[in-house]
């Protein structure tokens, strides 16, 4: 009974709907050395199709994968790893991957995060929300960051799968997942559910990170908590900024990312059923 109460409590913390997390047994890939590793499959599109299971995975840092974890990835046919971190992040904690996996670093917009974090350490109270909304509203690097990601998806062999990740698997990975699901025709409400589910999959890791940020960086606890949470207003800020700057998200994907109608249909043919 206690476990059941804790489980439903975690769902409330997630800020998502029960339906999204209820399939976590199938969606969540439990690994010893990585958190927030999950399958993007199963989501229903506006025209009645579903994203294929076992084709695209999102995750947090994978530098600590064990040998057993690597076997799991091998069995899932992961042949491409798109790392959305910056040069310094990736050098400090290199991905642990199976030999022969196609690895690509897509660091656009990430190399200044250390200085950004130092500035956040000085903030107090509810300032964290404002900083995160500002971060998600900055669209300057989005095209350069996600163009390689979509290129790898377009070139992915039909019998293989792709993994993409950043450090926490929330912000850069969350925006990437949102843009991909949008491209495939998944409704925005479902896209938001996938984004918010990070709160569920990272509950324990976030608690540890908040303690570390407060203790080692002397960061305000409320600011640290806001930074590590996935909130609706954060992802909304990205989509609103794209609409304001490019007229629509579709126009951004077409003009800046290079996803014309033919390429978008190719992605749908590959990853929908």
- The predicted model scores a pTM of 0.91
Tell me, what's the pLDDT at 65? Answer: 98
What per-residue confidence (pLDDT) applies to 56? Answer: 98
Domain count across the chain: 1
Amino acid 20: pLDDT: 57
Q: Report the pLDDT averaged over residues 231-251.
A: 98
The pLDDT assigned to 68 comes to: 98
Higher pLDDT, 121 or 162: 162
The pLDDT assigned to 111 comes to: 87
Residue 99, domain extent: 2-271
CATH number, residue 33: 3.90.190.10
Taking only the tens place, the pLDDT of each residue in 56-107 is: 999 999 999 999 999 999 999 999 999 999 999 999 999 999 999 999 999 9
| pLDDT tens figures, 163-217 | 999 999 999 999 999 999 999 999 999 999 999 999 999 999 999 988 988 888 8
Joined together, the tokens standing for residue 49 give 């199709």
Q: What is the pLDDT of residues 98-154, one digit of tens each?
A: 999 999 999 998 887 766 666 676 777 778 889 899 999 999 999 999 999 999 999
8-60 pLDDT per residue, tens: 444 444 444 455 566 778 899 999 999 999 999 999 999 999 999 999 999 99
Q: What is the pLDDT of residue 14?
A: 43
Kindly state the percentage of the chain with pLDDT values over 70: 89
């Amino acid at each position: 009974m206690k476990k059941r109460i804790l489980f439903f409590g975690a769902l409330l913390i997630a800020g998502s709907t029960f339906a999204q997390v209820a399939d976590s047994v199938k969606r969540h890939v439990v690994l010893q050395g990585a958190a927030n590793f999950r399958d993007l499959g199963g989501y229903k599109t506006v025209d009645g199709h579903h994203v294929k299971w076992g084709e695209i995975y999102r995750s947090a840092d994978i530098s600590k994968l064990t040998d057993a974890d690597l076997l799991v990835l091998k069995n899932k046919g992961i042949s491409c790893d798109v790392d959305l971190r910056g040069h310094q992040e990736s050098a400090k904690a290199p991905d642990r991957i199976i030999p022969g996996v196609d690895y690509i670093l897509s660091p656009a917009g990430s190399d200044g995060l250390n200085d950004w974090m130092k500035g956040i350490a000085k903030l107090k109270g509810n300032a964290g929300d404002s900083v995160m909304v500002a971060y998600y509203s900055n669209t300057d690097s989005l095209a350069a960051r996600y163009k390689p990601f979509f290129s790898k998806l377009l070139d992915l062999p039909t019998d293989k799968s792709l993994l993409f990740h950043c450090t926490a698997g929330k912000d850069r990975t969350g925006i990437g997942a949102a843009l991909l699901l949008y491209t495939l025709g998944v409704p925005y409400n479902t896209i938001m559910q996938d984004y918010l589910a990070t709160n569920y999959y990272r509950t324990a890791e976030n608690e540890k990170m908040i303690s570390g940020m407060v203790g080692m960086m002397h960061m305000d606890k409320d600011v640290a908590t806001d930074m590590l949470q996935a909130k609706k207003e954060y992802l909304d800020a990205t989509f609103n900024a794209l609409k304001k700057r490019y007229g629509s998200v579709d126009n951004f994907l077409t003009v800046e990312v290079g996803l014309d109608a033919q390429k978008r249909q190719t992605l749908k043919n590959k990853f929908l059923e």
